[in-house]
Amino acid sequence: MKTAARIGAVLSWRRTAPGPVVFVPTMGALHEGHAALIRKARRLAGTKGSVVVSIFVNPSQFGPKEDLSQYPRPFARDRVLCREEGADLLFHPAPAEMYARDASVMVRESSLATGLCGASRPGHFDGVCTVVAMLFHMVRPDTAVFGEKDWQQLAVIRRMVRDLGMPVKITGHPTVREEDGLALSSRNRLLTPEARRAAARIYQAMTAAAREGGSGEGRVARLRSGLLKDLAAIPGAVVDYAEILDEETLGSLKALKGGARARIFVAVRFGPVRLIDNLPVKPPR
């Protein structure tokens, strides 16, 4: 595995890299969820193709009061994981390598990015779209793999790629969870032991609502109030949002009808640590 910190090194690697090139962008502090994405990238690239992983804690997607400086950066461990999972190139630029000091162009998705995390983290998806567009220009992947854990991000990236005619295929990967259901996240390690135990109840609250919707309760307002009640009962948790939306348009739904593609979206804070998760609701046919 080659490691590159400079854009120029990526560009020259790319000129001779055997395709297909499959790309997994990350912010590092890699866990089994990221590892699953890299393994999927390896399968898609095959033995002949190339897998690129990037590790970049992107300042432009963090708000001024967010956890940019606290975000974990265990680079030596991350590099070992990338190598073991079969990456061919690890790109880990410094912020100054990516952004000119007077950078003044950004990419904005203005529909899917406005609700959920976009509402509670203003500018977040502008930062995500901009850095992903930049990385796509540098790596020029045939395919990029993103996790469904960040469902809204996946939807926004798909829209950006469609609307800007970017020649890259976007592939999703299901959410990887701990045994107790908590979605793996680099932020989980910042939870206190009590908060970590309590955080498992996010998944329990979502599965309870999904079960109810799956067994015939079609009134979204009812499902949502049950969900909110369960989340509010989690010790130490402050609910940022809890919504049941159309999973493609991220628009609101009144009722789950047959064929409705509904999904539960949740963001919960434990002190300074903000966790997000989502789960589909499949109404009976």
> Would you please indicate which residues are annotated as catalytic (active-site) residues?
34
State how far the Cα of 187 lies from the Cα of 189, in Å rounded to an integer.
5
Q: Whose Cβ is closer to ligand AMP: residue 82's or residue 220's?
A: 82
- Residues near ligand AMP (CB under 6 A) are 26-27, 33-34, 37, 146-147, 149-150, 173, 175-176, 183-186
Q: Whose Cβ is closer to ligand AMP: residue 131's or residue 198's?
A: 131
Tell me the closest approach of the beta carbon of residue 79 to ligand AMP, in angstroms.
15
3-state SS, residue 251: coil
Tell the residue number behind the tokens 């206190």, with chain if given: 192
Q: Whose Cβ is closer to ligand AMP: residue 4's or residue 37's?
A: 37
Name the pairing type of β-strands 169-173 and 143-147: parallel
Tell me the closest approach of the beta carbon of residue 126 to ligand AMP, in angstroms.
16
Tell me the closest approach of the beta carbon of residue 13 to ligand AMP, in angstroms.
21
Name the pairing type of β-strands 237-246 and 262-270: antiparallel
Alpha helices (H) in 72-192, listed in sequence order: 75-84, 95-98, 116-120, 124-139, 151-163
Tell the residue number behind the tokens 């999927």, with chain if given: 40
Tell me the closest approach of the beta carbon of residue 178 to ligand AMP, in angstroms.
9
Q: Whose Cβ is closer to ligand AMP: residue 33's or residue 213's?
A: 33
Question: Taking each helix axis from N to C terminus, what angle separates 193-214 and 220-232, rounded to the nearest 10 degrees?
Answer: 160
Query: In this structure, are residues 153 and 125 in contact, taking their beta carbons and an 8 Å threshold?
Result: yes
